[in-house]
A = this chain, B = another copy of it.
Amino acid sequence: MTDKQSKGIRMFDPAFDYGQLPSLTGFLFRKASLRTFAIFGDAVGDRAITPLRYSLLEVVGANPGLQQVQLAGILGLSKPAATLAIDFWQTRDCLSRRPDARDRRSRGIYLTEAGQARLDDLRIIIARQDAQLTEMLSEDELALLKSLMQRVIEGPVL
């Protein structure tokens, strides 16, 4: 690979045959995720701030005081992975662990002032890069894409 910038990542090389891959919706999702991840990194600048870590900050901001096990559940992480993700932001003075008076085993997770400021910044940067990701679609097409994606994500009604 000669170019690490997202613009340089070619998704399909027309010189080769990809078999049935391009006809698989799941394969398209994976490719779209890769492009998302690439331009996410370009936009945020700091490669340490991954989509997962940003998600953690976003969820804490929207639900102050959650327990670590709850955060682990929401983000689909094991307890140790949640511990480390929280450590990441606490090291950077963006999150704090506060003792819970009612259950002294658990600790509520909160944004610090710096964390709130960081989140405010990131929300803007990331909303902008997300718009860039879909800039080739009209407003109607984007709304349609999102509603179709939502249905696929939620899965079949059993």
Whether A19 lies near B133 (C-beta < 8 A) is no
CB–CB A36/B32 < 8 A = no
Whether A108 sits at the interface, judged by CB under 8 Å, is: no
Number of identical protomers: 2
Interface membership of A91, Cβ < 8 A: no
9-residue interface stretch from A23-31, A82-90, A98-106: A23-31
Residues on B with C-beta less than 8 A from A129 are 26
Chain B residue at minimum C-beta to C-beta distance from A30:
B33
A135, B156: Cβ atoms closer than 8 Å: yes
Given contacts A20-B127, A155-B35, contact A26 B11 (CB under 8 A): no
Q: A137-B151, A144-B148 are in contact. Are A26 and B51 (CB under 8 A)?
A: yes
User: Could you tell me if A133 and B152 are in contact, using CB atoms closer than 8 angstroms?
Assistant: yes
Contact between A154 and B11, CB atoms less than 8 A apart:
yes
- List of B residues within 8 angstroms of A28 by Cβ: 146, 149-150, 153
Tell me if A153 and B11 are in contact (CB < 8 A).
Answer: yes
Partner of A153, one of B32, B151, B156: B32
A158 vs B136: C-alpha distance in the bound complex, in angstroms? 11
Docked Cα-Cα span, A129 to B16, in Å, equals 25
